[in-house]
Structure 1
């Protein structure tokens, strides 16, 4: 006699794509998140295997949908640029985001940031940066011997993974690409584009004026040569 054993099918684990929290608490925090995310994304726009995201939930352990965090900006080098509702690490060749940024708002607490540091330490982040735009304060950690250690001097620091240089001025954090170009807000980029268009238009107008002037000189020379020929003088022999 064969005894049939009934098994209860396991309920699939759902990994929510939203934690119900706002991306930012104020316009300044939002501006910085967008500027950093956009700047890094633009830096690696030609590399199909660098994924850059803002405020995306990262689940590091399969089967645990409570263990998660949403970095303000995260960079996963070695992962394709495809749409994701969340970052499920076990579906990403078990590659943890190597670089994360957090932009502080007045609502962030020391306890919250300590928990995030512990999370990033535990689950493999290599570089962790925090920026407080209100206090113009920047700090960072780098993984050394499997431990995130504080970077002593952030001014002039160059990210090993991104090649981005950190500078601090009176107006705030400044990030520079390896080619020396500064990360810019959309408004700054639009302003630069308009200035470039204006310069190009001015150059085109100057070139047109030079061409017209050259044409006028050529016509004047032709008229003079014709006059000389009428007088029996060969202008080519002069």
Structure 2
């Protein structure tokens, strides 16, 4: 008797809604204090720059999944900017849930652990998935590299003394010992310490202005009181003169002839 043929069951691929998209790879966001400080400098200042625009989403070290149903294709840029996407909390950036809009601008801050192979793979990822502007900053050498999307994809840009982001409008000054970045209004990107110092200075100036205004108000009040006292004295003198004139008339004298 011939045994029935065994059929091999091929497991079906999970539905996109059943795929788990990790929000962490177990790696630290930054490899050293300088790396972390620069990431925070970029992210915090960009958030302040676009604070009034509800449709600019900015994130640091957030996993970006460009393909629905595929959790093996992902990247977590140090900082990314998605113009046209609403602000809000996300465990990851799933592009199909973001109206299929990729982040337009991506920043990577080099650390000693980054390898050329890793950075080449990131460049290919950002190029393939639609990034418009890609920046790599190396704190060790104070070197900024820029790729800008052209007809053939992301194309390397030869930089001179400064560079202005076409999408964000921020200006990179490459003439200083450290990278200096300016907002479109000319204000420099500031660290949290510098922001705190500036806020304290503004508070002290406002306090001094308030004290000066209070002193001016007190002086004005004193002047008003002196004027009122002078008016009262003048009124009293007028009343005394009127009483004297009345008394003289009662005595038969003409006060106008005296």
TM-score by length of 2: 0.80
Aligned to 1:115, what secondary structure does the other structure show? Answer: helix
From 164, 186, 209, the equivalent of 1:180 is: 186
Aligned mates of 2:88, 2:165 — CA distance in 1: 24
Q: How far apart are residue 132 of structure 1 and its match?
A: 1.5
What's the counterpart of residue 251 of structure 2? Answer: none
What's the counterpart of residue 44 of structure 2? Answer: 38
What's the counterpart of residue 110 of structure 1? Answer: 116
Aligned mates of 1:154, 1:95 — CA distance in 2: 31
Aligned mates of 1:136, 1:44 — CA distance in 2: 26
Aligned mates of 1:154, 1:80 — CA distance in 2: 34
Aligned mates of 1:46, 1:224 — CA distance in 2: 55
Aligned mates of 1:87, 1:228 — CA distance in 2: 80
What's the counterpart of residue 148 of structure 1? Answer: 154
Aligned mates of 1:151, 1:217 — CA distance in 2: 68
Matched, 1:20 2:46: no
Aligned to 2:205, what secondary structure does the other structure show? Answer: helix
Aligned to 2:19, what secondary structure does the other structure show? Answer: coil
For the aligned residue pairs, the C-alpha RMSD in angstroms reads: 2.1
> CA offsets per residue over residues 58-106 of structure 1, 9 Å max, x none?
1222333222111000111122223221112222222111100001112
211-220 or 51-60, larger mean C-alpha shift: 211-220
From 91, 110, 113, the equivalent of 1:85 is: 91
Q: In the comparison of the two structures, how many residue pairs are matched?
A: 228
Aligned mates of 1:7, 1:113 — CA distance in 2: 37
222-231 or 177-186, larger mean C-alpha shift: 222-231
What's the counterpart of residue 64 of structure 1? Answer: 70
Structure 1 gaps of 5+ residues are 1-5, 234-238
Aligned mates of 1:49, 1:225 — CA distance in 2: 64
Aligned mates of 2:236, 2:55 — CA distance in 1: 75
From 98, 101, 107, the equivalent of 2:107 is: 101
What's the counterpart of residue 48 of structure 1? Answer: 54
Structure 2 gaps of 5+ residues are 1-8, 240-258
What's the counterpart of residue 174 of structure 2? Answer: 168
67-76 or 219-228, larger mean C-alpha shift: 219-228
Alpha-carbon spacing, 1:40–1:154, altered in 2? closer, same or farther (3 Å): farther
Q: How far apart are residue 199 of structure 1 and its match?
A: 0.2
What's the counterpart of residue 236 of structure 1? Answer: none
Over alpha carbons, which structure has the higher Rg? 2
TM-score by length of 1: 0.87
Does the CA-based 8 Å contact 2:66-2:74 persist in structure 1? yes
From 184, 194, 210, the equivalent of 2:200 is: 194
